[in-house]
């Protein structure tokens, strides 16, 4: 059971806008930045969004992140077939001595 | 551009210690801005953070694994290592090393190495 909760699956057709949610608590998303990772099949995860809303160099602006209270969202606009992947949210959790928590992942299917 | 590469046995017997090394190239492990991390992924499952270490020896652990984890850094070799003791089949996973640039921001990853725990 992951500390951050994501829907196990999401889908959309090419060109559509899709959002993936990530729900946490005051000890993680409520007080810390959220990061998103994209994992294409058979590859290592790749940083997609950092500090809740920032895109690393090379990540298309079709990807955007946001946060409200204890929930975060990843939005993908202009969906493309190459966006089919697993997406994970992550945050620092300040409980105990502090540690990194991940969501369980969302498998995005492009129909 | 920094690159990370995991190395170590792909098969470990139950109750033994899993040992992996991550070699960092294209950048210094003594960077003031980064921690160095281990993250694993059970087959078909999500990501689980294990621990990360600063080159000066500051370490943060996943509380659920802390009692079995030892993480260390060798600045002379530009490497860091993971030892996970008393392994069981539940420790079978792909193990990734990664560079941390923010509290939960991992901006560079190794390709991952599958470690199977089996007799």
**B31 touches B73 (CB < 8 A):** no
Contacts of residue B75, defined as CB under 8 A and 6 or more positions apart, other chains included, come to: B29, B30, B55
Q: Taking 90 as the threshold, does the pLDDT of residue A45 lie above it? A: yes
Compute the average pLDDT of residues A44-59: 97
Chain A interface mutation, best of B6, B35, B46, B98, highest count of A Cβ atoms under 10 Å = B46
pLDDT band at B56 (very low <50, low <70, confident <90, very high): very high
The pLDDT of residue B92: 98
**What's the mean pLDDT in B6-17?**
98
* Whole-angstrom distance, CA of residue B79 vs CA of residue B115: 19
Q: Does B112 touch chain A (CB under 8 A)?
A: yes
DSSP string across A2-35:
-SBB--SEEEE-TT--EEEEEE--TTTTTTS-EE
Is the pLDDT assigned to residue A96 strictly greater than 90?
Answer: no
Per-residue pLDDT, averaged over B28-51, amounts to 95
User: Touching check for A100 and chain B: CB below 8 Å?
Assistant: yes
The residue of A99, A104, A107 whose CB has the most chain B CBs within 10 angstroms, and thus the best one to mutate to test that interface, is A99
The answer to whether residue B33 neighbours chain A at the CB level (below 8 Å) is no
Chain B window 1-30: which residues touch A at a Cβ cutoff of 8 Å?
none
In the predicted model, what is the mean pLDDT of residues A21-32? 97
Nearest alpha-carbon partner for B30 in B80, B105, B81, B102: B80
B103 and A103 within 8 Å at the Cβ level: the answer is no
The 10 Å Cβ neighbour count of residue B3 is 14
Those residues whose C-beta lies under 8 Å from the C-beta of residue B27, and which sit 6 or more positions away, are B2, B99
Cβ proximity of A73 and A19 under 8 Å: yes
Q: What per-residue confidence (pLDDT) applies to A49?
A: 98
Gap between the Cα atoms of A14 and A18, Å rounded: 10
* Mean pLDDT value across chain B: 96
Surface of B (63-92) touching A: CB under 8 A: 63
| Chain A residues closer than 8 Å to B54 by CB | none
Q: Is the pLDDT of residue A97 over 90?
A: no
Distance CA B32, CA B35 (A): 8
Q: Tell me: the pLDDT tens digits for A61-88?
A: 999 999 999 999 999 999 999 999 999 9
Q: Between vectors from CA B34 to CA A98 and to CA B38, what angle results, nearest 5°?
A: 60
């Amino acid at each position: 059971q992951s500390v951050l909760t994501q829907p196990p699956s999401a889908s959309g057709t090419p060109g559509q806008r899709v959002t993936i949610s990530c729900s946490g608590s005051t000890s993680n998303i409520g007080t810390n930045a959220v990061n998103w990772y994209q994992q294409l099949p058979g590859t290592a995860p790749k940083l997609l969004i950092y500090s809740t809303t920032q895109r690393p160099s090379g990540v298309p602006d079709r990807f955007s992140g946001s946060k409200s209270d204890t929930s975060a969202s990843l939005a993908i606009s202009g969906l493309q077939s190459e966006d089919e992947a697993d997406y994970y949210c992550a945050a620092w959790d300040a409980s105990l001595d502090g540690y990194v928590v991940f969501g369980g992942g969302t498998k995005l299917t492009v129909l | 551009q920094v690159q990370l590469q995991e190395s170590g046995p792909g098969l470990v017997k139950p109750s033994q210690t899993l040992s992996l090394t991550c070699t960092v190239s294209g950048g210094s492990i003594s960077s003031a801005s980064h921690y160095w991390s281990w993250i694993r992924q059970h087959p078909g499952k999500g990501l689980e953070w294990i621990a990360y270490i600063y080159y000066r020896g500051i370490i943060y652990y996943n509380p659920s694994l802390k009692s079995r984890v030892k993480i260390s850094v060798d600045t002379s070799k530009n490497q860091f290592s993971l030892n996970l003791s008393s392994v069981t089949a539940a420790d079978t996973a792909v193990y990734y090393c990664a560079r941390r640039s923010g509290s939960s921001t991992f901006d560079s990853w190794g390709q991952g190495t599958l470690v199977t725990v089996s007799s």
